[in-house]
Chains A and B, each alone.
Chain A
Amino acid sequence: MNSIFFLILRRLRAPLITLIVSYGIAVFGFTLMPGLDAEGRPWHMSIFEAFYVISYTATTIGFGEIPYAFSQDQRLWMTFSIYLTVISWFYAIGKIIALAQDPALRQAITVARFSRAVQGLHERFYIVCGYGETGSLLVGALDSKGIRVVTLDIDQERINELELQDYQAPVPGLCADAKLPDILLQAGIKHPQCGGIAALTNDDHVNLAVAVAVKLISPELPVLCRAEHTETAANMASFGTDNIINPYELFGEHLAMEIHSLGTYLLHEWLTGVPGTTLPSPTPPPVGNWIVCGYGRFGKAVVKNLELEGASIRIIEAQPELTGCENYILGSGTEARTLIEAGIENAVGIVAGTDNDINNLSIAMTALELKPDLFVVIRKNRRFNSPLFRQFNADITMQLSDIIAHECLAHLISPMLAQFLHLARSQSNAWANQLISRLVEVVGENVPETWGAYLNEERAPAVMSMFAQGKTVHLELLTKDPSNREKRLYIVPLLLIRGNQSMLLPELDTVLEADDRILFCGTQTARAAHPLLVLNQKVLTYVQEGVEVPDSLVWRWLVARRQKRA
């Protein structure tokens, strides 16, 4: 803000000096001009009178000849003064208006306003670089979970879009290059409440630059990066970027997961979903002969994972020399001929994975004409094509931005959730199905809330004081309703981390220890009620023992007396 003020002053130097000089000359001259007063005696204007006359003349107000009618000399000087001062005024006003429209000044004001908005955040917030399809999805999801977000984007139009969006909390956004460390500082990477940064621009270099800058300036801050090229991913990993998200790889993995353990996949989708949305129930992709159209980064990831699952694959590729593909059928896949050549008669599934939405739809539609019971996996590139894809209703529609946003949510909201999902992947499908049915029983069909509880002095003083009194605390205690101990909250503990150990789905009779970290999953109401339990000792004692602890000194004394008597 300070710098803007100085910028204005500096720019206004010339017009102000012009104004002062022209006033100076005009006022001085007026006092020298001989005039006559009402009785016809010689009279000279005082400096103050001259200043008064010039003031109303220069601003074109024009009260007339005050206090006496002017002499010829005074009128002559007045004519000169009018041109001198009025022109200087217009020059000064023109400069001021031009300054207000100056792009540099506007940019400075926008940056200052953004920076102030970020400094004014007093709750945990995350920075999202890149407000494109992925970024806007992530911002929306974080916002709906009540988490504050700060965004950066290089494109002013996207920032305009952000300002038009109806979010619960204001989202400070700035049109700037996230590559510049200065901008990252303005966005709050050194802010004590900053919880992490997600670099989701569609340019790998920018994401890399963000990761490097953040790791140098605030090494503690978790960084999530989108990387579409394996070299960038490796580069990012080399200096400790916390999570690198390769959307293509991720989709490949998800596809494989869908084939071999649908339950785990569902669990994954469900826990990282936007709260309040319902869960779709997909059919698992079949194993057999697959046709993959488009062997780009997406196609490669799909092929790799399908092969791991034991499928045999024919690839259709239009530009094999570009993608480094061997063993292909030349063509785009939009014509029936190529599909027949690829052996669509014997295929169980087709992947339409080119980077052109219309081609993908065309491939899928042609393939279904030829073989109606085909399993269709289709890649959606642009969100504005959503209505077409919804109409088409493929078995799996893959959208990069969805995948990245899901993954980011898992990591940002709770690092424990990411850990849980990682552990869950190594469990059997039956385990996952069982867990899902248990979760549905407790929290319903909608996407539940997940949150972590840390048993330390700061986050859970009530539990800590229980420990200090030497009482044993079972996990069950933290699942009870703070307003009625007979009831249970709609809550399921998913994971307990103690030191290096982690327990999946800990039993309710587990004895808790200090510094345990627990991942809970439950309804929104349960999440809202839960802090009462861990923060308020009185509530916790009530839930544990069914006794209301007296608050005040007098009551405590009375209760102690009564106990003594009894």
Chain B
Amino acid sequence: MNLEKVAFGFFIVLAMTLNFGFFIGDIGNPEYHHAYELYAAIVVNLIATVLKFGDRTQIGAIHLSTSLVADLQLIAAAVIWAAFGGEQMTTSTMVSIVSLSGGAFLANVTSVILLIIETIMLRR
């Protein structure tokens, strides 16, 4: 067992699960989507991205790009929240925040699938 692999897998899966937790629930209702969950998802996603730095293989490159996509979408969601959220939060703002995080969730799923493929290919 390799501690580096554990940390790597942990952060990638955690990024996906946190993202999922934020995404799930009525898309237009702010009560189903907590800001801290989005915050945690962003932080964990950033860490996962940095962990993917420096891998020169083809699969490493795809890994990094999926993470970058997830970061981009989540940060976009956070920016919208910061700009139009708060007191005057409307349903349409919430919908765009959650749908952005939904996109990020897809990217995170891809990332986890890649992780699984990599693990299966290793066979040890």
Q: What is A's interface to B at a CB cutoff of 8 Å?
A: 3, 6-7, 9-13, 16-17, 20-21, 23-24, 27-28, 31, 46-48
Report the nearest B residue to A17, measured CB to CB: B50
Interface residues of B in 75-111 (CB under 8 A from A): 78, 81-82, 85-86
Known contacts A13-B51, A20-B47; decide if A46 and B56 are in contact (CB<8 Å): no
21 contacts between A and B (CB under 8 A): A3-B56, A6-B53, A6-B55, A9-B54, A10-B54, A12-B50, A13-B51, A13-B53, A13-B54, A16-B50, A16-B53, A17-B50, A23-B43, A24-B43, A28-B36, A31-B36, A46-B35, A47-B35, A47-B39, A47-B78, A48-B81
Could you tell me if B46 and A20 are in contact, using CB atoms closer than 8 angstroms? yes
Distance of A27 Cα from B38 Cα, bound (Å): 13
Report the nearest B residue to A51, measured CB to CB: B82
Distance of A16 Cα from B50 Cα, bound (Å): 7
Distance of A46 Cα from B36 Cα, bound (Å): 10
Could you tell me if B56 and A6 are in contact, using CB atoms closer than 8 angstroms? yes
Q: Say how far A53's CB is from chain B's closest CB, in angstroms.
A: 13
Distance of A7 Cα from B54 Cα, bound (Å): 6
| Residues of the A chain whose Cβ atoms lie less than 8 Å from the Cβ of B85 | 46
- Residue with the highest number of chain A CB atoms closer than 10 Å, among B46, B51, B55: B46
Distance of A56 Cα from B109 Cα, bound (Å): 34
Could you tell me if A20 and B36 are in contact, using CB atoms closer than 8 angstroms? no
Interface string of B40-59 (1 = CB under 8 A from A): 00010011001101111000
Report the nearest A residue to B46, measured CB to CB: A20
Chain B contact surface mostly: helix
Report the nearest A residue to B39, measured CB to CB: A47
Could you tell me if B47 and A6 are in contact, using CB atoms closer than 8 angstroms? no
Could you tell me if A46 and B54 are in contact, using CB atoms closer than 8 angstroms? no
| Residues of the B chain whose Cβ atoms lie less than 8 Å from the Cβ of A23 | 43
Chain A contact surface mostly: helix
Report the nearest A residue to B83, measured CB to CB: A48
| Residues of the A chain whose Cβ atoms lie less than 8 Å from the Cβ of B50 | 12-13, 16-17, 20
Q: What is B's interface to A at a CB cutoff of 8 Å?
A: 35-36, 39, 43, 46-47, 50-51, 53-56, 78, 81-82, 85-86
| Residues of the B chain whose Cβ atoms lie less than 8 Å from the Cβ of A47 | 35-36, 39, 78, 81-82
Which listed residue (B39, B46, B53, B78) contacts A10, Cβ 8 A? B53
Distance of A6 Cα from B52 Cα, bound (Å): 11
Distance of A20 Cα from B67 Cα, bound (Å): 15
| Residues of the B chain whose Cβ atoms lie less than 8 Å from the Cβ of A48 | 78, 81-82
Could you tell me if A17 and B47 are in contact, using CB atoms closer than 8 angstroms? yes
Distance of A23 Cα from B51 Cα, bound (Å): 17
Report the nearest B residue to A24, measured CB to CB: B43
Distance of A16 Cα from B43 Cα, bound (Å): 12
- Residue with the highest number of chain A CB atoms closer than 10 Å, among B46, B50, B81: B50
| Residues of the A chain whose Cβ atoms lie less than 8 Å from the Cβ of B56 | 3, 6
| Residues of the B chain whose Cβ atoms lie less than 8 Å from the Cβ of A9 | 53-54
- Residue with the highest number of chain A CB atoms closer than 10 Å, among B36, B43, B78: B43
Closest 9 CB pairs of A and B: A10-B54, A48-B82, A9-B53, A24-B43, A16-B50, A9-B54, A20-B46, A47-B39, A17-B50
| Residues of the A chain whose Cβ atoms lie less than 8 Å from the Cβ of B39 | 27-28, 47
Distance of A66 Cα from B51 Cα, bound (Å): 34
Could you tell me if A12 and B82 are in contact, using CB atoms closer than 8 angstroms? no
Report the nearest A residue to B81, measured CB to CB: A48
Give me 17 other A-B pairs in contact (C-beta within 8 A), A13-B53, A27-B39, A46-B85 excluded: A6-B53, A6-B55, A12-B53, A13-B50, A16-B53, A17-B50, A20-B46, A20-B47, A20-B50, A21-B47, A28-B36, A28-B39, A31-B36, A47-B81, A47-B82, A48-B78, A48-B82
Distance of A10 Cα from B53 Cα, bound (Å): 6
Could you tell me if A17 and B51 are in contact, using CB atoms closer than 8 angstroms? yes
Q: Say how far A108's CB is from chain B's closest CB, in angstroms.
A: 13
Distance of A3 Cα from B50 Cα, bound (Å): 17
| Residues of the B chain whose Cβ atoms lie less than 8 Å from the Cβ of A11 | 54
Could you tell me if A46 and B43 are in contact, using CB atoms closer than 8 angstroms? no
| Residues of the A chain whose Cβ atoms lie less than 8 Å from the Cβ of B35 | 46-47
| Residues of the A chain whose Cβ atoms lie less than 8 Å from the Cβ of B54 | 6-7, 9-11, 13
| Residues of the B chain whose Cβ atoms lie less than 8 Å from the Cβ of A28 | 36, 39
